[in-house]
A = this chain, B = another copy of it.
């Protein structure tokens, strides 16, 4: 399985993904699910993928091919598209192409071709934006009312986001929210696993402020994880006891 979460803040974008992929419980592998492109000073784009690995790898390959083609022919690609919205459309087109190619055959074998992609980024002159592209190639955008998007195993990590995520959260707090949401998911679902990939884009910057892999022994993440466990147990004991009445 997979868990990827993207947060959209007034101060920028936070993206966090795991790296575990499994075909059954006995066939677990590690695959990067976060893909980034940076043209410093012009744009930073981050994709996170969930669902059928053959489909999502195909999408990334198509986007990469278009970038190479564009450097020869000046054709459109995610690195020269005139908006982040247009980038999401290009990802949607690649999704549709992959689905058309494989859906029927996968379906005939009883397999799902479902996939989804979180597209985030910022280009010079534009806003930081966060989209989710569905299997059909259509997409939605995160708004102030719901300033986060999740793909994959999203349920365990949603309650904390429902309670603390607001667009006016500082980036540091948003990182904490993403870590806590991921930590809850890691604990409750074995098919989501370390290491993690993290990327941050600040509002008005056209490069990644943070882009790094978080390994299982990462001190920062483990400090948040154990700090959250302690704080949660503290919070629980702090809630008034229930009086037992018949």
Size of interface on A: residues with Cβ below 8 Å to B: 46
Complex Cα–Cα for A173 and B241 (A): 6
Question: Is A184 among interface residues, defined by CB-CB distance under 8 A?
Answer: yes
The digit string for A206-246, where 1 denotes a CB below 8 A from any CB of B, is 00111110000000100110011101111110111111111
Residues in chain B near residue A173, CB distance under 8 A: 241
Residues B209 and A246 in contact, CB atoms below 8 Å apart: yes
A172 to B237, CA, bound (A): 11
Complex alpha-carbon distance, A238 and B231, angstroms: 7
Q: Is A102 an interface residue (CB 8 A)?
A: no
Residues on the B chain within 8 Å of A187, using CB: 159, 162-163
A180 within 8 A of B: yes
The closest CB in chain B to the CB of A174 belongs to B242
B172 touches A239 (CB 8 A): no
Segment 113-166 of A: residues with Cβ below 8 Å from B: 155-156, 158-160, 162-164
Neighbouring B residues of A242 by C-beta, 8 Å: 172, 175-176, 179, 220, 224
Contact, CB under 8 Å: A175 / B231: no
Q: Which of B171, B188, B243, B244 contacts A155 (CB 8 A)?
A: B188
Q: A235-B228, A236-B180 are in contact. Are A241 and B155 (CB under 8 A)?
A: no
Task: Kindly state the separation between the CA atoms of A210 and B164 in the bound complex, as whole angstroms.
Answer: 34
Tell me if A177 counts as interface (CB < 8 A to partner B). Answer: yes
Contact of A158 among B156, B175, B245 (CB under 8 A): B156
Query: Known: A234-B238, A235-B231. Contact between A244 and B210, CB under 8 A?
Result: yes
Query: How long is the Cα–Cα vector from A162 to B245 in the complex, in angstroms?
Result: 26
A209, B243: Cα distance in complex, Å:
12
Distance between Cα atoms of A177 and B179 in the complex (Å): 23
Is the Cβ of A244 less than 8 Å from the Cβ of B158?
no
